[in-house]
Amino acid sequence: MPQDAVPFAIRFDTEQLCIGGTWRAAAGGQTLALANPSDGRTLARIARGGAADIDAAVAAAHAALAGDWGRMSAAERGRVLGAIGRKVQDHVEPLAMLEALDVGKPLKQGRADALALARYLEFYGGAADKVHGDTLPFQNGYTALTWREPHGVTGHIVPWNYPMQIGGRSVGAALAMGNACVLKPAEEACLTVLAFARIASEAGLPAGALNVVTGLRNEAGAALAAHPGVQHLSFTGSVATGMLIQAAAAKNAVPVTLELGGKSPQIVFADADLDAALPHLVNAGLQNAGQTCSAASRILVERSVFDAVRERMAERYRALRIGPATDDFDMGPVISKRQQSIVEHFLALGRDSGLRIAAQGTLPAGLPAGGCYVRPTLFDAVPADHALAQQEIFGPVQVLIAFDGEAEALRIANGTAFGLVAGVWTRDGGRALRKARALKCGQMFVNNYGAGGGVELPFGGVKHSGHGREKGFEALYGFSTLKTVAIHHG
């Protein structure tokens, strides 16, 4: 492996693709540089896979379905997934380091992501042989029943913010149901996905069940989305790309799961336990430098406690320690210079439109000049219809919005194009339930936010946040199709 700079206990060549159980260079022979967001230096080179490589990966996946992988029983598939999960567990530290270097997230977050990957495999390994159909009451003389079958070859396109977690949750559920996968990670960060493919084959996953093709969005990505040999597409990323993926899927009439962006609110009522809420209000907005689809980027606060919440959040912002990912501070850089300039554009927009800044974190002297650092920023009393309160920034920026009473809180919370996650902080159980019914979102939390990741909890959105569900048992239904059998026996 030419990239000895990348520390990893299991050897893999970052410049190769994993197709049909073998590792090979891209058909076109080209590579791409991966930058380390903490210092801007080249971290590794990856293969620039293209349409020919996607063709080969889809063919390898079909061969796996016709071969050893397709012949495995559900229980055997579950055992293999469990073995992969245990091997991931043995490599949490190198995986965490790799994710920190590649994505720029603090090591502790990389560690949490590696543990989540192991947990997805444990969960889906255990679930593989527990998905069953029904027998249906039907006309006399018939027995009618249903069972679930894999789609066949599933395509998985994942973003750079959580390659390990999102890659794992998506292929974990698809493999549990007996599909064979072609995974296209993002060109900005993909090393842990390659490492995962290597771990999976060493743990006994048959050749071709999981194929990984790195490359550019409009080359490998577009080729996978449009491939007529793919029977289901799972996409996690931006709204604009999600719409392109759905259009590509429509051309082949295949089902698609879209996990898109968000502008998720946490709603703080005056009766809330503020001590319990405070860490969640800030951390859920700044985790992974705000580059989290479910980031709580809008904090709605009832007017009578607005000043208190603002001051206590501001204290936390001022105490944030920011620096290179491997130094494991509270926050690292954003993923790229491009993302840095997007965040800076929104900060300038806020300032230019006269918004007050309640608090900003400080960038310490001596940060690497090539790093992609931005100051975490909390905007004060932002009008609910302002661009900063409506658009997904995907950076460490939160807006505080004041409200009076339940009805206004609900109107503001539901008043964006998105509907991914929401949180409500209140001691009034009736109000919490009313909000749970009325909020337009796919996941809703009462007196917590995120439930520590919640591998078991179905996740996905409504409106522009997407459709279909990943995670939990629900994902197994998405990665399978129901067959109905009616037997006439008189």
Which residues sit at the interface with ligand NAD, rule CB under 6 A?
157-161, 166, 184-187, 217-218, 221-222, 225, 236-238, 241, 244, 259-262, 293, 392, 394, 466
CB atoms within 10 A of CB 306: 20
Is 259 an annotated catalytic residue? yes
Nearer to ligand NAD, 258 or 309 (CB): 258
Smallest gap from Cβ 178 to ligand NAD, in A, equals 24
Nearer to ligand NAD, 82 or 159 (CB): 159
At closest approach, how far in Å is the CB of 393 from ligand NAD? 10
Select from 214, 262, 224 the least CA-distant residue to 244.
Answer: 224
Catalytic site residue from 18, 181, 190, 293: 293
CB of 169 to ligand NAD, least distance (A): 9
**Closest separation in Å from C-beta 394 to ligand NAD:** 5
Nearer to ligand NAD, 82 or 468 (CB): 468
**Min dist. Cβ of residue 468 to ligand NAD (A):** 10
Nearer to ligand NAD, 140 or 218 (CB): 218
Closest-CB residue for ligand NAD? Answer: 221
- 78 or 221: CB nearest ligand NAD: 221
Closest to ligand NAD by CB, 262 vs 350, is 262
What is the number of alpha carbons within 13 Å of residue 417 lying toward its C-beta? 10
Which of 122, 219, 259, 302 is the catalytic position? 259
Which residues neighbour 236 within 8 Å (Cβ) at sequence distance 6 or greater? 157, 158, 159, 166, 170, 259, 260, 293, 470
Report, in Å, the least distance between residue 229 CB and ligand NAD.
16
- Please report how close the Cβ of residue 47 comes to ligand NAD at its closest, in angstroms: 14
Tell me the C-alpha distance between 11 and 186, whole Å: 21
Q: Which is nearer to ligand NAD, 30 or 238 (CB)?
A: 238
Give yes or no: 408 in active site.
Answer: no
Q: Which residues form the catalytic set?
A: 259, 293
